Amino acid sequence: MSGDGWAAVRGRATRMAGLKACATWITLAGGVLASVAQPFRAAVAQQNPNAPENFIKITAPVIALTHARAIDGTGAPARADQTIVIRDGSIAAVGPAASVTPPAGATVVDLTGRSVMPGLVMMHEHLYYTTGPGVYGQLGASFSRLYLAGGVTTMRTAGNVNGIMDINLARRIAAGELPGPDIDATAPYVNGPSTFLQMHALKTAEQARRHVAYWNDQGATSVKAYMQISRDALKAAIEEAHRRNMKVTGHLCSVTYGEAADLGIDDLEHGFFAAADFVADKQPDVCPGQARGQQTIAALDENGAPFKALVKKLVDKRVALTSTLTVFETFTRGRPMPPGLDVLTPQLQDAFRRAYDRAQQNPQSVYATLFPKDMALERAFVKAGGLLIAGTDPTGAGGVVPGYSDQRQIELLVDAGFSPLEAIAIGTLNAAKYLGRDARIGSIAIGKQADLVVVAGDPSTTIADVRRVETVFKRGIGFDPAKLIDSVKGQVGIW
Protein backbone atom coordinates (compact mmCIF):
# COMPACT_ATOMS: atom_id res chain seq x y z
CA MET A 1 0.00 0.00 0.00
CA SER A 2 1.47 3.34 -0.96
CA GLY A 3 1.87 5.73 1.90
CA ASP A 4 2.60 8.86 -0.13
CA GLY A 5 -0.38 10.56 1.48
CA TRP A 6 1.38 10.48 4.81
CA ALA A 7 4.12 12.83 3.69
CA ALA A 8 1.28 15.25 2.95
CA VAL A 9 -0.19 14.67 6.43
CA ARG A 10 3.18 15.41 8.02
CA GLY A 11 3.41 18.62 6.00
CA ARG A 12 -0.16 19.76 6.75
CA ALA A 13 0.10 18.86 10.43
CA THR A 14 3.39 20.68 10.86
CA ARG A 15 1.88 23.79 9.28
CA MET A 16 -1.22 23.41 11.48
CA ALA A 17 0.99 23.21 14.57
CA GLY A 18 2.57 26.45 13.38
CA LEU A 19 -0.87 28.06 12.99
CA LYS A 20 -1.93 27.01 16.47
CA ALA A 21 1.28 28.34 17.97
CA CYS A 22 0.79 31.57 16.06
CA ALA A 23 -2.80 31.96 17.25
CA THR A 24 -1.76 31.33 20.83
CA TRP A 25 1.04 33.88 20.62
CA ILE A 26 -1.24 36.52 19.13
CA THR A 27 -3.90 35.85 21.78
CA LEU A 28 -1.32 36.22 24.50
CA ALA A 29 -0.23 39.51 22.94
CA GLY A 30 -3.54 41.07 23.94
CA GLY A 31 -6.93 42.27 22.82
CA VAL A 32 -5.65 44.70 20.24
CA LEU A 33 -4.77 41.84 17.94
CA ALA A 34 -7.91 39.78 18.64
CA SER A 35 -9.27 40.46 15.17
CA VAL A 36 -6.12 38.92 13.74
CA ALA A 37 -6.26 35.90 16.06
CA GLN A 38 -9.86 35.13 15.22
CA PRO A 39 -9.34 33.93 11.63
CA PHE A 40 -6.54 31.65 12.79
CA ARG A 41 -8.77 30.06 15.42
CA ALA A 42 -11.53 29.67 12.86
CA ALA A 43 -9.11 27.94 10.49
CA VAL A 44 -8.24 25.45 13.23
CA ALA A 45 -11.88 24.88 14.22
CA GLN A 46 -13.16 24.44 10.69
CA GLN A 47 -10.89 21.58 9.77
CA ASN A 48 -12.48 18.31 8.76
CA PRO A 49 -13.28 16.45 12.02
CA ASN A 50 -12.26 13.15 10.40
CA ALA A 51 -8.81 14.32 9.26
CA PRO A 52 -5.74 12.70 10.86
CA GLU A 53 -4.57 16.16 12.03
CA ASN A 54 -7.22 16.17 14.77
CA PHE A 55 -5.60 13.27 16.57
CA ILE A 56 -1.91 14.15 16.38
CA LYS A 57 0.21 14.62 19.48
CA ILE A 58 3.58 15.23 17.87
CA THR A 59 4.86 15.84 14.37
CA ALA A 60 8.05 17.44 13.09
CA PRO A 61 10.46 16.86 10.20
CA VAL A 62 12.99 15.36 12.65
CA ILE A 63 12.09 13.82 16.01
CA ALA A 64 14.52 12.29 18.52
CA LEU A 65 13.08 9.91 21.09
CA THR A 66 15.69 9.82 23.87
CA HIS A 67 16.39 7.66 26.93
CA ALA A 68 13.86 5.00 25.89
CA ARG A 69 13.93 1.27 26.48
CA ALA A 70 13.87 -0.22 22.97
CA ILE A 71 12.10 -3.54 22.32
CA ASP A 72 12.94 -4.06 18.67
CA GLY A 73 10.39 -6.74 17.68
CA THR A 74 12.94 -9.37 16.69
CA GLY A 75 12.71 -11.15 20.05
CA ALA A 76 16.12 -9.76 21.11
CA PRO A 77 16.43 -8.52 24.70
CA ALA A 78 15.26 -4.97 25.41
CA ARG A 79 17.99 -2.33 25.32
CA ALA A 80 18.00 0.43 27.94
CA ASP A 81 18.62 4.16 27.37
CA GLN A 82 18.31 4.27 23.57
CA THR A 83 17.81 7.19 21.21
CA ILE A 84 15.70 6.75 18.08
CA VAL A 85 15.83 9.45 15.42
CA ILE A 86 12.84 9.77 13.09
CA ARG A 87 13.32 11.72 9.88
CA ASP A 88 10.62 12.17 7.23
CA GLY A 89 8.65 9.22 8.54
CA SER A 90 11.47 6.69 8.71
CA ILE A 91 13.92 5.57 11.37
CA ALA A 92 17.17 7.44 10.61
CA ALA A 93 19.22 6.31 13.63
CA VAL A 94 18.92 4.09 16.67
CA GLY A 95 21.46 3.36 19.38
CA PRO A 96 22.62 4.11 22.91
CA ALA A 97 21.73 7.63 24.06
CA ALA A 98 25.41 8.11 24.91
CA SER A 99 26.46 7.70 21.26
CA VAL A 100 23.45 8.84 19.18
CA THR A 101 23.12 12.62 19.40
CA PRO A 102 19.80 14.23 18.37
CA PRO A 103 20.39 16.19 15.13
CA ALA A 104 20.36 19.98 15.33
CA GLY A 105 16.78 21.25 15.07
CA ALA A 106 15.24 17.93 16.05
CA THR A 107 12.19 17.90 18.31
CA VAL A 108 13.48 15.97 21.33
CA VAL A 109 11.13 13.79 23.38
CA ASP A 110 12.57 12.44 26.64
CA LEU A 111 11.15 8.93 27.16
CA THR A 112 12.77 8.10 30.50
CA GLY A 113 10.70 5.34 32.12
CA ARG A 114 9.05 4.40 28.82
CA SER A 115 9.54 1.70 26.23
CA VAL A 116 9.39 1.95 22.46
CA MET A 117 8.30 -1.08 20.45
CA PRO A 118 7.30 -1.54 16.80
CA GLY A 119 3.72 -0.81 15.86
CA LEU A 120 1.60 -3.96 16.04
CA VAL A 121 1.00 -5.84 12.79
CA MET A 122 -2.29 -7.63 13.41
CA MET A 123 -3.65 -10.21 11.07
CA HIS A 124 -7.20 -11.21 11.96
CA GLU A 125 -8.93 -7.87 12.22
CA HIS A 126 -12.31 -6.81 10.94
CA LEU A 127 -14.03 -3.53 10.20
CA TYR A 128 -17.35 -5.06 11.25
CA TYR A 129 -18.74 -6.23 14.58
CA THR A 130 -21.51 -8.49 15.84
CA THR A 131 -24.38 -6.02 16.26
CA GLY A 132 -27.25 -8.50 16.39
CA PRO A 133 -28.01 -12.20 15.97
CA GLY A 134 -26.30 -13.19 12.72
CA VAL A 135 -25.89 -9.52 11.76
CA TYR A 136 -22.58 -7.75 11.40
CA GLY A 137 -22.56 -3.95 11.44
CA GLN A 138 -19.97 -2.09 9.42
CA LEU A 139 -17.96 -0.04 11.94
CA GLY A 140 -14.88 0.77 9.88
CA ALA A 141 -14.84 4.48 10.70
CA SER A 142 -14.64 4.02 14.48
CA PHE A 143 -12.66 0.76 14.36
CA SER A 144 -9.81 2.22 12.31
CA ARG A 145 -9.32 4.88 15.03
CA LEU A 146 -9.46 2.27 17.82
CA TYR A 147 -6.93 0.03 16.10
CA LEU A 148 -4.48 2.91 15.75
CA ALA A 149 -5.10 4.01 19.36
CA GLY A 150 -4.25 0.49 20.51
CA GLY A 151 -0.87 0.56 18.77
CA VAL A 152 -1.81 -1.24 15.54
CA THR A 153 -0.03 0.41 12.62
CA THR A 154 -0.63 -2.35 10.02
CA MET A 155 -3.52 -4.80 9.87
CA ARG A 156 -5.14 -7.33 7.62
CA THR A 157 -8.91 -7.62 7.55
CA ALA A 158 -9.33 -11.39 7.69
CA GLY A 159 -12.71 -11.39 6.02
CA ASN A 160 -15.03 -8.67 4.85
CA VAL A 161 -18.84 -8.67 4.82
CA ASN A 162 -19.41 -5.29 3.26
CA GLY A 163 -17.61 -5.32 -0.07
CA ILE A 164 -16.09 -1.99 -0.91
CA MET A 165 -15.81 -0.26 2.49
CA ASP A 166 -12.67 -2.10 3.65
CA ILE A 167 -11.05 -1.28 0.33
CA ASN A 168 -12.06 2.39 0.30
CA LEU A 169 -11.00 2.84 3.91
CA ALA A 170 -7.60 1.29 3.12
CA ARG A 171 -7.22 3.69 0.19
CA ARG A 172 -8.25 6.81 2.11
CA ILE A 173 -5.99 5.98 5.05
CA ALA A 174 -3.08 5.40 2.63
CA ALA A 175 -3.86 8.78 1.04
CA GLY A 176 -3.55 10.46 4.46
CA GLU A 177 -7.23 11.48 4.47
CA LEU A 178 -8.27 9.42 7.50
CA PRO A 179 -6.41 8.20 10.60
CA GLY A 180 -5.83 4.47 10.95
CA PRO A 181 -3.41 1.63 10.36
CA ASP A 182 -2.21 0.59 6.92
CA ILE A 183 -4.80 -1.98 5.86
CA ASP A 184 -4.35 -5.15 3.82
CA ALA A 185 -7.98 -5.20 2.66
CA THR A 186 -9.42 -8.65 2.18
CA ALA A 187 -12.03 -9.44 -0.46
CA PRO A 188 -15.51 -10.49 0.68
CA TYR A 189 -15.36 -14.06 2.01
CA VAL A 190 -14.76 -16.86 -0.45
CA ASN A 191 -17.38 -19.33 0.76
CA GLY A 192 -19.77 -21.96 -0.47
CA PRO A 193 -23.52 -21.87 0.22
CA SER A 194 -24.16 -21.07 3.92
CA THR A 195 -26.73 -19.43 6.17
CA PHE A 196 -24.71 -16.22 6.49
CA LEU A 197 -26.76 -13.27 5.20
CA GLN A 198 -23.68 -11.20 4.36
CA MET A 199 -21.64 -13.76 2.41
CA HIS A 200 -21.55 -14.79 -1.24
CA ALA A 201 -22.43 -18.41 -2.03
CA LEU A 202 -19.78 -19.60 -4.51
CA LYS A 203 -20.81 -22.97 -5.91
CA THR A 204 -18.15 -23.65 -8.52
CA ALA A 205 -14.43 -23.23 -9.03
CA GLU A 206 -15.12 -20.77 -11.85
CA GLN A 207 -17.31 -18.62 -9.57
CA ALA A 208 -14.57 -18.60 -6.93
CA ARG A 209 -11.94 -17.61 -9.51
CA ARG A 210 -14.14 -14.79 -10.85
CA HIS A 211 -14.90 -13.56 -7.31
CA VAL A 212 -11.19 -13.30 -6.50
CA ALA A 213 -10.40 -11.61 -9.81
CA TYR A 214 -13.28 -9.10 -9.49
CA TRP A 215 -12.44 -8.05 -5.94
CA ASN A 216 -8.73 -7.78 -6.69
CA ASP A 217 -9.66 -5.49 -9.58
CA GLN A 218 -11.66 -3.40 -7.09
CA GLY A 219 -8.61 -3.09 -4.83
CA ALA A 220 -8.70 -6.03 -2.42
CA THR A 221 -5.19 -7.22 -1.59
CA SER A 222 -5.86 -10.53 0.15
CA VAL A 223 -8.34 -13.39 0.28
CA LYS A 224 -10.10 -15.28 3.09
CA ALA A 225 -11.84 -18.61 2.57
CA TYR A 226 -14.56 -19.76 4.92
CA MET A 227 -16.21 -22.78 6.50
CA GLN A 228 -18.35 -24.09 3.62
CA ILE A 229 -15.88 -23.75 0.72
CA SER A 230 -15.28 -26.82 -1.45
CA ARG A 231 -11.78 -28.06 -2.24
CA ASP A 232 -12.29 -27.26 -5.94
CA ALA A 233 -13.42 -23.71 -5.25
CA LEU A 234 -10.60 -23.16 -2.76
CA LYS A 235 -8.05 -24.47 -5.25
CA ALA A 236 -9.30 -22.06 -7.92
CA ALA A 237 -9.35 -19.14 -5.48
CA ILE A 238 -5.77 -19.86 -4.40
CA GLU A 239 -4.55 -20.14 -8.01
CA GLU A 240 -6.20 -16.85 -9.01
CA ALA A 241 -5.01 -15.07 -5.86
CA HIS A 242 -1.41 -16.24 -6.30
CA ARG A 243 -1.48 -15.25 -9.96
CA ARG A 244 -2.35 -11.76 -8.71
CA ASN A 245 0.26 -11.73 -5.90
CA MET A 246 -2.33 -12.05 -3.16
CA LYS A 247 -2.17 -14.42 -0.22
CA VAL A 248 -5.01 -16.65 0.93
CA THR A 249 -5.99 -17.48 4.46
CA GLY A 250 -8.94 -19.49 5.73
CA HIS A 251 -11.23 -20.13 8.63
CA LEU A 252 -11.90 -23.67 7.48
CA CYS A 253 -14.18 -26.57 8.33
CA SER A 254 -15.38 -28.21 5.08
CA VAL A 255 -11.72 -28.41 3.99
CA THR A 256 -9.18 -29.72 6.51
CA TYR A 257 -5.96 -27.92 7.39
CA GLY A 258 -3.99 -30.71 5.72
CA GLU A 259 -6.06 -30.52 2.51
CA ALA A 260 -5.73 -26.73 2.41
CA ALA A 261 -1.96 -26.98 2.87
CA ASP A 262 -1.82 -29.38 -0.09
CA LEU A 263 -3.85 -26.88 -2.15
CA GLY A 264 -1.29 -24.15 -1.40
CA ILE A 265 -3.06 -21.99 1.20
CA ASP A 266 -0.76 -19.44 2.87
CA ASP A 267 -2.27 -19.14 6.34
CA LEU A 268 -4.86 -20.74 8.62
CA GLU A 269 -6.98 -18.78 11.07
CA HIS A 270 -7.83 -19.40 14.74
CA GLY A 271 -4.86 -21.54 15.74
CA PHE A 272 -6.11 -25.13 15.70
CA PHE A 273 -9.62 -24.24 16.88
CA ALA A 274 -10.98 -24.65 13.33
CA ALA A 275 -9.18 -27.86 12.32
CA ALA A 276 -11.57 -30.62 11.21
CA ASP A 277 -8.64 -32.91 10.38
CA PHE A 278 -9.28 -35.23 13.31
CA VAL A 279 -13.03 -35.84 12.87
CA ALA A 280 -13.06 -39.60 12.18
CA ASP A 281 -16.09 -39.73 9.85
CA LYS A 282 -15.53 -36.39 8.10
CA GLN A 283 -16.98 -36.33 4.57
CA PRO A 284 -14.96 -34.47 1.90
CA ASP A 285 -16.13 -30.88 1.27
CA VAL A 286 -18.63 -31.02 4.13
CA CYS A 287 -18.27 -29.12 7.40
CA PRO A 288 -19.12 -31.61 10.16
CA GLY A 289 -19.96 -28.67 12.42
CA GLN A 290 -17.44 -26.49 14.22
CA ALA A 291 -18.38 -28.12 17.53
CA ARG A 292 -17.46 -31.62 16.35
CA GLY A 293 -14.06 -30.46 15.19
CA GLN A 294 -13.50 -28.66 18.48
CA GLN A 295 -14.27 -31.78 20.52
CA THR A 296 -11.52 -33.63 18.66
CA ILE A 297 -9.06 -30.76 19.20
CA ALA A 298 -9.85 -30.58 22.93
CA ALA A 299 -8.98 -34.29 23.18
CA LEU A 300 -5.88 -34.11 20.96
CA ASP A 301 -2.43 -35.10 22.25
CA GLU A 302 0.11 -32.46 21.21
CA ASN A 303 2.81 -35.12 21.39
CA GLY A 304 0.85 -37.70 19.40
CA ALA A 305 1.70 -38.80 15.86
CA PRO A 306 -1.48 -37.44 14.14
CA PHE A 307 -0.93 -33.88 15.38
CA LYS A 308 2.81 -34.01 14.74
CA ALA A 309 2.18 -35.15 11.16
CA LEU A 310 -0.17 -32.23 10.54
CA VAL A 311 2.30 -29.74 12.02
CA LYS A 312 5.11 -31.18 9.88
CA LYS A 313 2.99 -30.71 6.77
CA LEU A 314 2.14 -27.09 7.68
CA VAL A 315 5.79 -26.28 8.43
CA ASP A 316 7.09 -28.05 5.30
CA LYS A 317 4.59 -26.20 3.12
CA ARG A 318 5.25 -22.90 4.92
CA VAL A 319 1.67 -22.39 6.01
CA ALA A 320 1.43 -19.71 8.71
CA LEU A 321 -1.00 -19.97 11.62
CA THR A 322 -2.92 -17.03 13.07
CA SER A 323 -3.56 -17.08 16.81
CA THR A 324 -6.86 -15.42 17.79
CA LEU A 325 -7.07 -16.31 21.48
CA THR A 326 -9.00 -13.11 22.21
CA VAL A 327 -12.27 -14.22 20.62
CA PHE A 328 -12.13 -17.64 22.25
CA GLU A 329 -11.37 -16.16 25.65
CA THR A 330 -14.81 -14.51 25.55
CA PHE A 331 -16.42 -18.00 25.34
CA THR A 332 -14.30 -19.48 28.15
CA ARG A 333 -15.56 -19.66 31.71
CA GLY A 334 -13.48 -18.01 34.40
CA ARG A 335 -11.66 -15.58 32.15
CA PRO A 336 -11.72 -11.85 32.99
CA MET A 337 -14.02 -9.31 31.36
CA PRO A 338 -12.31 -8.16 28.15
CA PRO A 339 -10.96 -4.60 27.98
CA GLY A 340 -12.48 -1.64 26.17
CA LEU A 341 -16.20 -2.35 26.54
CA ASP A 342 -16.91 1.25 27.58
CA VAL A 343 -16.34 2.55 24.03
CA LEU A 344 -19.34 0.51 22.80
CA THR A 345 -22.91 1.78 22.69
CA PRO A 346 -24.84 0.91 25.88
CA GLN A 347 -26.89 -1.68 23.93
CA LEU A 348 -23.77 -3.52 22.74
CA GLN A 349 -22.23 -3.38 26.22
CA ASP A 350 -25.40 -4.99 27.65
CA ALA A 351 -25.52 -7.62 24.90
CA PHE A 352 -21.94 -8.67 25.60
CA ARG A 353 -22.41 -8.71 29.39
CA ARG A 354 -25.32 -11.12 28.94
CA ALA A 355 -23.18 -13.37 26.70
CA TYR A 356 -20.36 -13.21 29.23
CA ASP A 357 -22.74 -14.25 32.05
CA ARG A 358 -23.98 -17.18 29.97
CA ALA A 359 -20.36 -18.34 29.43
CA GLN A 360 -19.70 -18.13 33.17
CA GLN A 361 -22.76 -20.29 33.89
CA ASN A 362 -21.82 -23.11 31.51
CA PRO A 363 -19.49 -25.57 33.27
CA GLN A 364 -19.96 -28.16 30.48
CA SER A 365 -18.48 -25.89 27.80
CA VAL A 366 -15.76 -27.48 25.66
CA TYR A 367 -13.73 -24.28 26.02
CA ALA A 368 -12.64 -25.22 29.54
CA THR A 369 -10.32 -27.81 27.99
CA LEU A 370 -10.17 -26.46 24.42
CA PHE A 371 -8.82 -23.00 25.29
CA PRO A 372 -5.69 -24.20 27.17
CA LYS A 373 -5.30 -27.07 24.67
CA ASP A 374 -5.10 -24.72 21.71
CA MET A 375 -2.50 -22.66 23.57
CA ALA A 376 -0.38 -25.84 23.93
CA LEU A 377 -0.89 -26.71 20.24
CA GLU A 378 0.17 -23.21 19.13
CA ARG A 379 3.33 -23.53 21.23
CA ALA A 380 4.04 -26.94 19.67
CA PHE A 381 3.58 -25.45 16.18
CA VAL A 382 6.17 -22.75 16.92
CA LYS A 383 8.55 -25.24 18.52
CA ALA A 384 8.40 -27.29 15.31
CA GLY A 385 9.42 -24.23 13.28
CA GLY A 386 6.01 -22.84 12.28
CA LEU A 387 5.37 -19.15 11.67
CA LEU A 388 2.79 -17.97 14.23
CA ILE A 389 1.13 -14.60 13.66
CA ALA A 390 -1.61 -12.94 15.69
CA GLY A 391 -4.98 -11.27 15.41
CA THR A 392 -8.10 -10.66 17.46
CA ASP A 393 -11.29 -11.40 15.46
CA PRO A 394 -13.85 -8.87 16.74
CA THR A 395 -16.83 -11.19 16.20
CA GLY A 396 -18.31 -13.97 18.34
CA ALA A 397 -20.85 -12.65 20.81
CA GLY A 398 -19.04 -9.30 21.02
CA GLY A 399 -16.51 -8.17 23.59
CA VAL A 400 -13.51 -8.22 21.24
CA VAL A 401 -12.97 -4.47 20.94
CA PRO A 402 -10.40 -3.29 18.38
CA GLY A 403 -7.19 -1.86 19.78
CA TYR A 404 -7.85 -3.06 23.30
CA SER A 405 -8.14 -6.64 22.11
CA ASP A 406 -4.91 -6.36 20.09
CA GLN A 407 -3.09 -5.58 23.33
CA ARG A 408 -5.00 -8.41 25.03
CA GLN A 409 -3.94 -10.85 22.30
CA ILE A 410 -0.27 -10.10 23.04
CA GLU A 411 -0.95 -10.70 26.75
CA LEU A 412 -2.71 -13.99 25.96
CA LEU A 413 0.30 -15.22 23.99
CA VAL A 414 2.26 -14.81 27.23
CA ASP A 415 -0.52 -16.69 29.05
CA ALA A 416 0.01 -19.39 26.43
CA GLY A 417 3.63 -19.78 27.47
CA PHE A 418 5.56 -17.49 25.14
CA SER A 419 7.96 -15.00 26.70
CA PRO A 420 6.93 -11.32 26.50
CA LEU A 421 9.64 -10.72 23.87
CA GLU A 422 8.43 -13.70 21.81
CA ALA A 423 4.82 -12.50 22.09
CA ILE A 424 5.78 -9.03 20.87
CA ALA A 425 7.73 -10.55 17.94
CA ILE A 426 4.68 -12.65 16.99
CA GLY A 427 2.57 -9.46 16.97
CA THR A 428 5.10 -7.44 14.96
CA LEU A 429 7.99 -8.90 12.92
CA ASN A 430 6.41 -12.34 12.33
CA ALA A 431 3.41 -10.74 10.65
CA ALA A 432 5.59 -8.37 8.66
CA LYS A 433 7.47 -11.41 7.35
CA TYR A 434 4.20 -13.13 6.45
CA LEU A 435 3.12 -10.04 4.50
CA GLY A 436 6.53 -9.87 2.78
CA ARG A 437 6.92 -6.35 4.16
CA ASP A 438 9.63 -6.97 6.74
CA ALA A 439 12.10 -4.77 4.87
CA ARG A 440 9.89 -1.78 5.80
CA ILE A 441 7.89 -2.66 8.92
CA GLY A 442 7.76 -4.96 11.96
CA SER A 443 10.92 -4.04 13.85
CA ILE A 444 12.94 -1.06 15.02
CA ALA A 445 15.82 -0.71 12.57
CA ILE A 446 17.44 2.02 10.51
CA GLY A 447 15.62 2.60 7.25
CA LYS A 448 12.33 1.12 8.37
CA GLN A 449 9.10 3.05 8.53
CA ALA A 450 8.77 4.86 11.87
CA ASP A 451 5.79 2.84 13.06
CA LEU A 452 6.44 2.86 16.80
CA VAL A 453 4.45 2.55 20.00
CA VAL A 454 5.52 4.38 23.14
CA VAL A 455 4.30 2.66 26.30
CA ALA A 456 4.79 3.48 29.97
CA GLY A 457 6.76 0.83 31.85
CA ASP A 458 8.47 -2.25 30.46
CA PRO A 459 6.41 -4.83 28.53
CA SER A 460 9.57 -6.96 28.06
CA THR A 461 9.13 -7.98 31.70
CA THR A 462 5.51 -6.97 32.46
CA ILE A 463 3.43 -7.72 29.39
CA ALA A 464 0.39 -5.85 30.76
CA ASP A 465 2.35 -2.66 30.07
CA VAL A 466 1.45 -3.08 26.36
CA ARG A 467 -1.89 -1.55 27.42
CA ARG A 468 -0.21 1.64 28.69
CA VAL A 469 0.09 3.27 25.25
CA GLU A 470 1.03 6.94 25.36
CA THR A 471 1.81 7.70 21.71
CA VAL A 472 1.47 5.74 18.47
CA PHE A 473 3.80 6.78 15.67
CA LYS A 474 2.62 5.86 12.21
CA ARG A 475 5.03 6.78 9.44
CA GLY A 476 6.67 9.16 11.90
CA ILE A 477 3.51 10.97 13.00
CA GLY A 478 2.79 10.65 16.71
CA PHE A 479 -0.91 10.06 17.41
CA ASP A 480 -2.64 10.62 20.72
CA PRO A 481 -4.59 7.46 21.70
CA ALA A 482 -6.81 9.41 24.11
CA LYS A 483 -7.99 11.76 21.34
CA LEU A 484 -8.69 8.86 18.99
CA ILE A 485 -10.67 6.97 21.64
CA ASP A 486 -12.59 10.03 22.90
CA SER A 487 -13.76 10.73 19.34
CA VAL A 488 -15.71 7.44 19.22
CA LYS A 489 -16.45 6.69 22.88
CA GLY A 490 -19.98 5.40 23.52
CA GLN A 491 -20.73 5.37 19.79
CA VAL A 492 -18.94 2.22 18.66
CA GLY A 493 -21.77 0.16 17.22
CA ILE A 494 -23.26 2.98 15.17
CA TRP A 495 -20.35 3.92 12.91
The neighbour count for residue 25, using CB atoms within 10 Å, is 12
CB of 198 to Zn ion, least distance (A): 13
CB of 249 to Zn ion, least distance (A): 10
How much of the chain is helix, strand and coil, in % rounded to 5?
40, 20, 40
Residues, the chain: 495
Which CB atom, from 118 or from 159, has the smaller least distance to Zn ion?
Answer: 159
CB of 396 to Zn ion, least distance (A): 9
Which CB atom, from 122 or from 492, has the smaller least distance to Zn ion?
Answer: 122
CB of 125 to Zn ion, least distance (A): 8
Which CB atom, from 226 or from 307, has the smaller least distance to Zn ion?
Answer: 226
The footprint of Zn ion on this chain (CB under 5 A) covers a number of residues equal to 2
Provide the b/e sequence for 61-85 (b: ≥16 CB within 10 Å). bbbbbbbbbbbbbbbeebbeebbbb
Which CB atom, from 251 or from 448, has the smaller least distance to Zn ion?
Answer: 251
Q: Pattern of binders to Zn ion over 113-142, x per CB under 5 A?
A: ------------------------------
CB of 405 to Zn ion, least distance (A): 12
CB of 281 to Zn ion, least distance (A): 27
Tell me if 411 contacts Zn ion by CB under 5 A: no
The neighbour count for residue 132, using CB atoms within 10 Å, is 10
The residues, any chain, with a CB within 8 Å of residue 214's CB and separated by 6 or more, are none
323 vs 330: CA distance, rounded Å:
14
Tell me if 393 contacts Zn ion by CB under 5 A: yes
Angle (CA) 330-291-284 rounded to 5° is 135
CA of 213: how far to CAs of 1, 208, 226, 240, in Å?
18, 9, 17, 7
CB of 430 to Zn ion, least distance (A): 19
Which CB atom, from 159 or from 250, has the smaller least distance to Zn ion?
Answer: 159
CB of 392 to Zn ion, least distance (A): 9
Which CB atom, from 159 or from 271, has the smaller least distance to Zn ion?
Answer: 159
73 vs 91: CA distance, rounded Å:
14
**Start-end of H helices in 248-288:** 257-263
Q: Choose one: 213-221, 253-261, 387-395, 460-468; the region binding Zn ion (CB under 5 A).
A: 387-395
Which CB atom, from 273 or from 473, has the smaller least distance to Zn ion?
Answer: 273
* Rg of the chain, C-alpha, whole Å: 23
Tell me if 72 contacts Zn ion by CB under 5 A: no
Q: Choose one: 23-31, 46-54, 151-159, 411-419; the region binding Zn ion (CB under 5 A).
A: 151-159
Residue nearest to Zn ion (CB): 393
φ/ψ of residue 331, rounded to 5: -95, -5
Return the residues of window 155-174 that contact Zn ion according to CB under 5 A: 159
Pairing label, strands 128-132, 135-138: antiparallel
Backbone torsion region of residue 176, taken as left when φ is above 0, otherwise alpha when ψ lies between -120 and 50, otherwise beta: left
Which CB atom, from 53 or from 393, has the smaller least distance to Zn ion?
Answer: 393
Burial class (CB in 10 A: 0-12, 13-18, 19+), 287: buried
User: Under the rule (CB under 5 A), what is the footprint of Zn ion?
Assistant: 159, 393
